[in-house]
C-alpha cells in the first residue's frame, strides 16, 4: 500500500494529547515523518517521558493508523522529549523546582520568592512562576503590580515574555487578571493557565525555574507532575503538627508511582523568633526540634530554618524580598538553602 503524507497527517490529527488539550499535529509533537510501502515511521515529542500519557498517545496513534490503512501497515513510533529535540518553551531550562505545602499560611510563596533570589545570588540564571492561580502574590512581592508581560509572535502563535526584576524572570496569573476580584475557575481553566505560563512563554536559558504551587494536592500539582520534567520538590512547613499533617499529604502525592517527583528537602518556616536588635538570639516560641523531627519522618533532609522577623513581611509588602538584604540573618538562611538545593542535585545534571 502506498501511503500518502497528507492522509497520514489527517489521520494523526484525530489523536489528542489531553494534557494540552489539542491533537498531536497541531501541538507540533509529530517529528521526522517517514513513509514507505506499507510502513510509517515518526517520533512523538513529549515534554517528558515516563508519564502514562506517553503510552496512551503512542498506542492511540498506532491504532488510528491501523484503522485507517489496515493492520498490515508497519507503524514505528519513537517517543522523545522536547529537550532531546532542542526545542520547546522549556528546552533551555535545566531544572524545575516546585515549592509546595499542604496548607496555606505557612509562607510558601515567601520561601519561593526568596529562594529564587538566593539562587540568583549564587550565580544561577533563575525564573519564578507564580502557579498559585487563586491567590497570586508574586507581583506584590516583587513590586511589579500593574505591569504587563510583553508578547511577540513565533510561528503564528503569541509568545509571552516574562517580566524581569532583581535579575529574576517572573510570570504570574496576577499579571493577567484583576487580583482584587475572586478568580472563580474550574480545574481545567486553572490547568490551562498553568500551561500558558510555562509552555507559551519564552523562558530562554535558565539554570532553575522555581514554581510556587498553590496549597494542597489539586489539579495544578497533578498537571505539573504529569506534563513537565520536574527535577524535584521542596516542601514548606511551620513547626505546628497541624501544618505538618498537611505537608505529609503533599509529600505522599509526589511519591505516587505515576506522579513521582523527588523530594529535595523540607524547609521549616517561622522556626524561631529573632529580635531585630539581637540578631544572634533564637527564641523557639513554637518549640525546638520540630523541623528535624518532621524531616526525619519524611525521610528527607531539613534544608533550612527560616526565622520569624518583621522584615520578611515588610519586604514582601514593599516589593523587596528580604533575601536582597544580604547582611540579614534571614537572607543568610535562604542562601544556605539555595546552596543545599544546588548541592543536592546530581552534579552531572548541572
Express each pLDDT in 332-350 by its tens digit.
999 999 999 999 885 434 3
**28, 155, 271 from 20: Cα distances, Å:** 11, 18, 40
Q: Which of 228, 227, 303, 292 is nearest to 263 (CA)?
A: 303
Q: Quick one: the chain helix, strand, coil %, rounded to 5?
A: 35, 25, 40
What is the distance of C-alpha 249 from the center of its chain? Answer: 18
Element (H, E) at 243: helix 241-254
DSSP 348: G
Burial class of residue 70 (count of CB atoms within 10 Å of its CB; 0-12, 13-18, 19+)? exposed
pLDDT tens, position by position, 221-230 = 888 887 788 8
The per-residue DSSP string of 248-295 comes to HHHHHHHTSGGG---EEEEEETT--B--TT-TT--B-TT-SSHHHHHH
Give the pLDDT band (50/70/90) at residue 8.
very high
Spatial separation of the C-alpha atoms in residues 112 and 96, rounded to whole Å: 12
The dihedral through the CA atoms of 168, 172, 176, 181 has a sign that is negative
Distances (CA, A) of 88 to 57, 85, 201, 291, 350: 19, 8, 10, 39, 19
The confidence score (pLDDT) of residue 316 equals: 80
With 0-12 / 13-18 / 19 or more C-beta atoms within 10 angstroms meaning exposed / middle / buried, residue 177 is: middle
CA 59 – CA 294 distance, rounded (Å): 43
Residues 268, 238: contact at Cβ < 8 Å? yes
- Give the mean pLDDT of 184-202: 80
Tens of pLDDT, residues 305-335: 998 877 787 888 888 899 998 888 889 999 9
How far is 219 from 224, CA to CA, in rounded Å?
Answer: 9
- Render pLDDT for 88-115 as a digit per residue (tens, 0 to 9): 667 778 899 999 887 777 888 999 999 9
Domains in the chain and their CATH numbers? 5-84 (3.30.300.130), 93-349 (3.40.50.300)
Q: What is the pLDDT of residue 348?
A: 34
Q: With 90 as the cut, is the pLDDT of residue 286 above it?
A: no
Instruction: Give the Cα separation of 197 and 236 in Å (integer).
Output: 23
pTM, two decimals, is: 0.74
3-state secondary structure 186-199: CHHHHHHHHHHHHH
pLDDT, position 347: 45
- Report pLDDT for 266: 93
Q: How does the average pLDDT of the chain come out, rounded?
A: 86
pLDDT tens-digit readout, 18-77: 877 788 998 888 989 999 888 999 999 988 787 888 999 999 999 999 999 999 999 999
Amino acid at each position: 500500500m502506498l501511503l500518502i503524507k497528507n492522509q497520514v497527517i489527517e489521520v494523526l490529527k484525530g489523536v489528542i494529547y489531553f494534557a494540552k488539550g489539542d491533537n498531536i499535529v497541531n501541538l507540533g509533537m509529530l517529528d521526522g515523518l517517514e513513509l514507505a510501502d506499507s510502513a510509517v515511521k515518526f517520533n512523538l515529542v513529549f515534554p517528558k517521558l515516563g508519564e502514562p500519557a506517553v503510552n496512551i498517545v503512542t498506542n492511540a496513534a498506532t491504532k488510528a493508523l491501523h484503522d485507517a490503512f489496515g493492520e498490515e501497515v508497519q507503524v514505528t513510533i519513537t517517543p522523545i522529549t522536547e529537550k532531546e529535540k532542542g526545542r520547546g518553551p522549556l528546552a533551555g531550562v535545566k531544572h524545575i523546582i516546585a515549592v509546595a505545602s499542604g496548607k496555606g499560611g505557612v509562607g510558601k510563596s515567601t520561601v519561593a520568592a526568596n529562594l529564587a533570589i538566593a539562587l540568583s545570588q549564587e550565580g544561577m540564571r533563575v525564573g519564578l512562576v507564580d502557579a498559585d492561580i487563586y491567590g497570586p502574590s508574586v507581583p506584590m512581592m516583587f513590586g511589579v503590580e500593574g505591569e504587563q508581560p510583553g508578547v511577540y509572535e513565533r510561528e503564528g502563535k503569541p509568545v509571552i515574555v516574562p517580566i524581569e526584576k532583581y535579575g529574576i524572570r517572573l510570570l504570574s496569573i496576577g499579571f493577567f487578571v484583576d487580583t482584587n476580584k475572586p478568580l472563580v475557575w474550574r480545574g481545567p481553566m486553572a490547568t490551562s493557565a498553568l500551561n500558558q505560563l510555562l509552555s507559551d512563554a519564552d523562558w530562554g536559558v535558565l539554570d532553575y525555574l522555581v514554581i510556587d504551587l498553590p496549597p494542597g494536592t489539586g489539579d495544578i500539582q497533578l498537571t505539573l507532575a504529569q506534563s513537565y520534567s520536574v527535577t524535584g520538590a521542596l516542601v514548606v512547613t511551620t513547626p505546628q503538627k497541624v501544618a505538618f499533617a498537611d505537608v505529609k499529604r503533599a509529600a505522599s502525592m509526589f511519591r505516587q508511582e505515576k506522579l513521582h517527583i523527588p523530594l529535595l528537602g523540607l524547609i521549616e518556616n517561622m522556626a524561631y523568633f529573632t529580635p531585630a536588635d539581637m540578631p544572634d538570639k533564637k527564641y523557639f516560641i513554637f518549640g525546638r526540634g520540630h523541623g528535624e523531627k518532621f524531616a526525619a519522618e519524611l525521610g528527607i533532609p531539613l534544608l533550612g530554618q527560616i526565622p520569624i522577623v518583621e522584615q520578611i513581611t515588610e519586604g514582601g509588602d514593599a516589593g523587596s524580598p528580604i533575601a536582597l538584604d544580604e547582611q540579614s540573618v534571614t537572607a543568610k538562611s535562604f542562601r544556605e538553602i539555595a546552596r543545599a538545593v544546588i548541592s543536592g542535585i546530581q552534579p552531572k545534571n548541572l
